Amino acid sequence: MENHTKEELQDPTMQVSSLNCIDLANDDLHRSVVSLKQACLDCGFFYVINHGINEEFMDDVFDQSKKFFALPLEEKMKVLRNEKHRGYTPVLDEILDPENQVNGDHKEGYYIGIEVPKDDPDYDKPFYGPNPWPDSDVLPRWRETMEKYHQEALRVSKDIGRLLALALDLDANYFDTWEMLGKPIATMRLLHYEGVSDPSKGIYACGAHTDYGMMTLLATDGVMGLQICKDKNAKPQKWEYVPAIKGAYIVNLGDMLERWSNGFFKSTLHRVLGNGQERYSIPFFVEPNHECLVECLPTCKSESNVPKYPAIKCSTYLTQRYKETHAELSIYNQEI
């Protein structure tokens, strides 16, 4: 926890969360599944270690991310977020907690999804298509590094998906089908935070929210800031910091998995507070195929436990959630 500020270390009220740690190299599959299930029932957050992505490569990904955010704003605006939610998102573009936030999030970001060429039959779907890329003369090797990381993170996601299936008493390969994770919507987002948050004034690095999809794999630079609230209905809400573990992913479940599991597994409220230090992170959002119908899993319903949520198509749900939280692109046309 070397990245705490002095003020935080001296604050006796600062709560730090303790999360289960899932080792993907562990031969004891039963133990891993039990530990994962406990985490999903408790708060939907856990660490994943020994995932097969080496630290040297991760350091390179973060270095490349920092190089992009260090570019002049004019250069970054050349790859502004498009209608398919790919590309650069300026500071204040996203507002995740409108009830408590005065302005948008004090972060800038860059969305990168699965590259789908124009001749692909799925090209017209809202979350598929080509990514805008910074000029290779400005950032050499940048695209190659990000595409490789996307592939690696998707591989890890599928490994975690098999453990999640077992934790839900399903066949290990349940989520591997084409309409689920066979051809998923998987989006990584480079993030850069600056400034000091002040909840009393409605200023947040990232407002309180739950993630939209199935799960999120979060890589961080070790700077503290992420907080979770295990009971969103508590008054007042109790927020706990999640410390980073070097080389580990912080993984959390999203709203789709909560719907799939009939509320059995938790999609937990989380936010980021800035402490004046620059902070970089890379969440990798995993959602099923556009056509996937998200409805109660067979192992999560019974005569006494009927489905709590109506079935909804994945692309419909995601489109609705993105529209609720992001600024209209037309505002940037007016500014340029």
Q: What pLDDT, on the 0 to 100 scale, is given for residue 35?
A: 97
With cut-offs at 50, 70 and 90, classify the pLDDT of residue 336.
Answer: very low
Does residue 333 carry a pLDDT above 80?
Answer: no
Residue type, 241: Y
In a domain, 304, yes or no: yes
How many angstroms separate the most distant Cα atoms in the chain?
A: 62
Q: What pLDDT, on the 0 to 100 scale, is given for residue 204?
A: 92
Residue type, 85: H
How far apart are alpha carbons 325 and 327 in whole angstroms?
A: 7
Find the domain containing 117 and state its range: 48-154+187-328
Q: Any bridge partners for residue 280, and if so which? A: 192
How far apart are alpha carbons 194 and 89 in whole angstroms?
A: 14
Residues 138-185 pLDDT 10s: 999 999 999 999 999 999 999 999 999 999 999 999 999 988 998 899
Q: What pLDDT, on the 0 to 100 scale, is given for residue 12?
A: 42
With cut-offs at 50, 70 and 90, classify the pLDDT of residue 10.
Answer: very low
Mean pLDDT (the chain, rounded): 90
Q: What pLDDT, on the 0 to 100 scale, is given for residue 115?
A: 87
Q: What pLDDT, on the 0 to 100 scale, is given for residue 2?
A: 34
What φ, ψ does residue 279 adopt, rounded to 5°? -135, 135
Q: 323 vs 9, 66, 72, 250, 316, CA distance in Å? A: 38, 28, 28, 26, 11
Closest alpha carbon to 180 in 169, 198, 164 = 164
In a domain, 291, yes or no: yes
Does residue 241 carry a pLDDT above 90?
Answer: yes
User: Starting at the edge strand that comes first in sequence, how are the strands of the sheet with 206-209 ordered?
Assistant: 206-209, 269-272, 226-229, 240-241
In a domain, 336, yes or no: no
Closest alpha carbon to 17 in 254, 207, 231 = 231
Helix/strand/coil (H, E, C) string of 146-197? HHHHHHHHHHHHHHHHHHHHHHCCCCCCHHHCHHHHHCCEEEEEEEEECCEC
Which residues lie below 8 Å from residue 329, measured CB to CB, with a gap of 6+?
Answer: 80, 81, 82, 83
Q: Structurally, how many domains does the chain consist of? A: 1
Decide: 309 and 262 in contact? Cβ < 8 Å: yes
In a domain, 38, yes or no: no
In a domain, 26, yes or no: no
Which residues lie below 8 Å from residue 262, measured CB to CB, with a gap of 6+?
Answer: 296, 297, 300, 301, 305, 307, 308, 309
Decide: 87 and 81 in contact? Cβ < 8 Å: yes
How far apart are alpha carbons 282 and 68 in whole angstroms?
A: 13
CATH code where residue 144 lies = 2.60.120.330
Does residue 6 carry a pLDDT above 60?
Answer: no
Does residue 331 carry a pLDDT above 80?
Answer: no
- For residue 178, give the DSSP letter: I
Which sign does the torsion angle of CA 48, 50, 53, 55 carry? positive
In a domain, 250, yes or no: yes
Angle formed by the axes of helices 142-167 and 55-69, to 10°?
A: 120
Name the residue with higher pLDDT: 315 or 68. Answer: 68
With cut-offs at 50, 70 and 90, classify the pLDDT of residue 95.
Answer: confident
Q: What pLDDT, on the 0 to 100 scale, is given for residue 163?
A: 97
Which residues lie below 8 Å from residue 202, measured CB to CB, with a gap of 6+?
Answer: 100, 101, 102, 103
Residues present in the chain in total: 336
Query: How many CB atoms are located within 10 Å of the residue 144 CB?
Result: 11
In a domain, 200, yes or no: yes
Residues 277-287 pLDDT 10s: 999 999 999 99
Degrees to nearest 5, angle at CA 217 with 71 and 177: 120
In a domain, 214, yes or no: yes
Does residue 266 carry a pLDDT above 80?
Answer: yes
